[in-house]
Structure 1
Amino acid sequence: MTSPQPACTDPSAAPAARREAVLREAVRRGLLDPGDALVAAFVDLDGVAASVAALQDAFPASVDVLHTFAAKANCLVPVLARLRELGMGCEVASPGEFAQALAAGFDPDRIVFDSPAKTRRELVRALELGVAVNVDNWQELDRVDGLLRTGASASRIGVRVNPQVGAGSIGAMSTATATSKFGITLADEGNAERLVEAFRERPWLTWIHVHVGSQGCPLDLMAEGVAQAVALADRINGEAGRHQVTGIDLGGGLPVNFADDTTAPTFAAYVERLRVRAPRLFDGGYRLATEFGRSLLAKNGFTAAYVEYTKTSGGRRIAVTHAGAQVATRTVFAPDAWPLRITAHHPSGAAKHGAPVPQDVAGPCCFAGDVVARARALPELAPGDLVALLDTGAYYATTHFQYNSLPEPAVHGFTVDPDGRVGFVPLRRAQDVDELLRPVG
């Protein structure tokens, strides 16, 4: 028997009550349905706007800064378009993301192109359109040299440096280690001097880009990497005798708190660390750019799925749901680094409040490791119930893993008006079987 549905909540309501209201309305409208819509993702558009405002407010108005969104975190064109409307630029790292940014309406001069493997064709297009380019390595710099000899470009061009300040707690998310594949290393013998000379010889080389990593990287590590980039910029300008480096691209990478609904660390806290470690960023001498992704979207989304079956195996309760590795790839394959909170709901979407029972929450994929949570204490799940995977607004359902040819689920944006009415906006429709067959048809 389902519990009674609480009244719908307004935008300032507690996150748990807000999610419950959205789930109940999604069920009522058929966006979640045990026959046709077994899994769906939801993005809180009000929350996204609040996160963007927090980022913009964290930097002083006296600093010229372009905030770009890292498209890999949520590459859906309607999401990118909404971010553009909120004043964001876009950071892209592939031809697909490049095309999605243009489709979302970003002006080329508000797009930043980062990738360690840019092709000649990709660089030609970026330079023709005037998109900002961050060069990753010496060979790419030679390639850009050759392309600029054939024609001028309005692009602002920088070099990504690796300050080699070390790793955070998740090695795969740490990009400033001694042997990282990204950027030109600063501590390796001769590289700093070679960079000074490279800038001095190229008047069009005017930015420095740095990105220490993301999840698992502490703020002090990130700020130290930025400080080394600023020191290099000051050295280049001093030795060149002119204001050669005009901008610092700080990258992104603010970690996300997946433990509860608190947003921590905040953008304001990060800026305070930068003020301590790299005060020159705030005296007006450099233009700035940022490339945040996960920290803007993660906590503004969740993924909901039906429980199809429950069983007991070796004394362990198991709920088999329709959300597994296809929508929670990192959590399934690296559960210690990417644990997700899960909430239990009645078929109506109302929260379940029974006594917690340890149980596995498994997915639909046909391999034994497709488990989103092990021995998680939740109200006992039953067939037809819903589970919600929290903090999945970035990556997750929008970075689909097509194991077992499972189709992409629908993604819905939502808002809640002051009277508590929930509204939905389609961000991606569910993929059907015919679309799966189209590549061979």
Structure 2
Amino acid sequence: MVKGAPRLAALWDPALRDFVDRYPAMLHELAGAFDAPIHLLFPDRFVRNVKAFERTLAEHRVAGRVYFAKKANKARCFVREAAELGIGVDVASEGEFSDALAAGVRGADVAVSGPAKANDLLRLAVRHEALIAIDSLDELARLAVIARHCGRIARVLLRMEPASVSTSRFGLDPASLDAAMLLCAEHRSAMTLEGFSFHLSGYSARARADQAALAARACVNARSHALAPSVVDIGGGFAMSYASAHDWARFQATHSPADYHANKTFDGFYPYHSACDGARMLAAILTAVPEGESKPLAALLSEHGLQLMLEPGRALLDQAGFTLFAVQGVKDRGDYGITTVNGTSFSLSEQWFASEFLPDPELVAAMRAPHAPARERVPYRTCVGGASCLDSDMITWRKVAFAQRPEPGDLLLYPNTAGYQMDSNESPFHELPLPPKLVVTLDGSRPCWRVDRPSTFSGA
């Protein structure tokens, strides 16, 4: 490797690491067959992550329910696993709702979030008995009318404005929250208040515990209005570690603008390592003593007969997929190169959040004929550009250090991309095909794969 070049080695599930190392020919066959970037998905890892959250709830004796935040990945296979596991799915559009139903999720297991939801979405949610997080008094009033028209009782969560964040456009402020509770009581023939929800940015376990305690107290207060809420929804934002603590600290200490094409700088990066990630973060939330309380959150919930609801997205997709791009060409630029691949940065979404997906991509060299001369192994640094005409279409701005110069026909493997990276911003710009998603099973003597059935609303 190039001496002094900052690196950020990805953490790997051992079974996925073994798959990549043992079956490079299969990776090349799949990439060649679909003639596009491809996303490989491993739903069994999703199942494992769900069960880790459920074990944590059980260990702390908390009645709780996990919902998969569908926006984190559009693949049908993950929603199908959610249906098989009996967990919920969080959606924010008619398309997501319909896709969840098509994958076998019961309407009563769907939670609907998002601001100022359209009447058609509210109507769909009411008819299928979904749980609806209400963000404004106007929305609550519209829901009451829709529920009466449908002859159904709408299931409601009231979304609270975070006490610690005054700049969020989401949630009901304290006065609106009181008015919403009175409205629920007034229209109890059309709606039932099941609880309170919130969503916090950032990855603080303590902040979530504090806000959850406020939601628990709101449940108790609502019972004085002859209402019977029993759910505290703490939303998502569960951290995920892509790299080790040592590697992440070293990377932050050593990288500089000179390590990026055009001396690119960023306002900040996702925290690619967290000591409190996934289900461990849930445990930290449950064992924290919220501000103003005398007992841990888990005990507070139990005392008042409350159920915890959580909506991880990224954390349920840890190690559940990776992405392959094919190298089309390499251009030398002095002490580094620009490698162009057969897709665009629309297929790896961190760049469109004004940031960079930092875990090191890996070079999967093209398969060579048995008697072909060996390639020269000279360390080479290169950034990675997309196939479009946009100067900003950079899949990796950083000059990544590889053991050898990439060549056309090689593959670049981006690890652990299932959470938000694969399809948050995908686009068929230049009429380039959207990367297909292939579901891989590793429980046989040889890996098996199939094409993930895309949502009819995805544009795929």
- Sort the TM-score into its range (normalised by shorter chain): 0.7 to 0.9
For 1:360, the aligned partner's letter is: C
Q: Report the residue type matching 1:205 in the other structure.
A: L
Q: String of CA shifts for 1:231-278, please: whole Å, max 9, x gaps.
A: 3223323x43x5621211221221222335988513133223223232
Structure 1 residue 183 and structure 2 residue 171: aligned?
yes
Q: Does 1:367 align with 2:351?
A: no
Q: Kindly indicate whether the alpha-carbon contact (under 8 Å) linking 1:208 and 1:249 is maintained by their aligned counterparts in 2.
A: yes
Structure 1 residues 332 and 207: CA distance shift in structure 2, 3 A: closer
- Secondary structure (helix, strand or coil) at the match of 2:58 reads coil
Query: What is the alpha-carbon distance in structure 2 between the residues aligned to residue 100 and residue 307 of structure 1?
Result: 34
1:328 counterpart residue number: 348
Cα distance change on mapping 1:331 and 1:97 into 2, 3 Å: same
User: Is 1:75 matched with 2:74?
Assistant: yes
The answer as to whether partners of 1:360 and 1:375 remain within 8 angstroms in 2 is yes
1:263-320 residue CA offsets vs partner (Å, 9 max, x unmatched): 8513133223223232322446112322111111143110001111011125431111
Match of 1:377 among 401, 417, 420: 401
CA contact (8 A) 1:163 1:228 kept: no
* Residues in 2 aligned to 1:127 and 1:154: alpha-carbon distance in whole angstroms: 7
Match of 1:55 among 35, 53, 56: 53
- 1:267 aligns with 279
SS in structure 2 of the partner of residue 359 of structure 1: strand
Q: CA deviation at 1:415?
A: 2.0
Higher relative contact order (CA closer than 8 Å, sequence separation 6+): 2
Whole-Å separation in 2 of the counterparts to 1:178 and 1:353: 58
Shift of the 256–401 alpha-carbon distance from structure 1 to 2, 3 Å rule, reads farther
Question: Which runs of no fewer than 5 residues in structure 2 stay unpaired?
Answer: 1-11, 245-271, 291-296, 369-374
Distance 1:140 1:45, change over 3 A: same
For the 8 Å contact 1:199–1:236, the answer to whether it is kept is no
Does 2:115 match 1:116? yes
Structure 1 position 91, deviation (Å): 0.9
Among 236, 260, 282, the residue aligned to 2:222: 236
Partner-residue secondary structure (3-state), 1:299: coil
Q: Does residue 341 of the first structure (1) align with residue 357 of the second (2)?
A: no
Q: In 2 relative to 1, CA 132–192 (structure 1 residues): closer, same or farther, beyond 3 Å?
A: closer
Q: Please give the alpha-carbon distance, in whole angstroms, between the structure 2 residues aligned to 1:144 and 1:353.
A: 67
- Change beyond 3 A, Cα 1:220–1:405: farther
* Equivalent in the alignment of 2:157: 158
**C-alpha contact (below 8 Å) 2:91/2:111 kept by paired residues:** yes
Structure 2 counterpart of 1:411: 437
Which residue number in structure 1 is paired with residue 4 of structure 2?
none
TM-score normalised by L of structure 1: 0.81
2:427 aligned to which of 401, 410, 413: 401
2: distance between equivalents of 1:155 and 1:197?
Answer: 16
> TM-score, normalising length from structure 2?
0.78
- Aligned residues with identical type, % of pairs: 23
Structure 1 gap segments, 5+ residues each = 1-10, 166-176, 437-441
List 4+ stretches of structure 1 deviating above 4 A.
Answer: 260-264, 352-356
Matched with 2:26 is 25
Aligned equivalents of 1:219, 1:293: Cα separation in 2? 16
Q: Distance in 2 between matches of 1:87 and 1:355?
A: 51
Q: Assess if the C-alpha contact under 8 Å between 1:258 and 1:341 holds in 2.
A: no
Residue from 179, 184, 192 that aligns with 1:194: 179
| C-alpha contact 1:275 1:282 (8 A) present in aligned 2 | no
1:391 paired residue number: 416
2:133 counterpart residue number: 134
Residue type of the partner of 2:31?
Answer: L
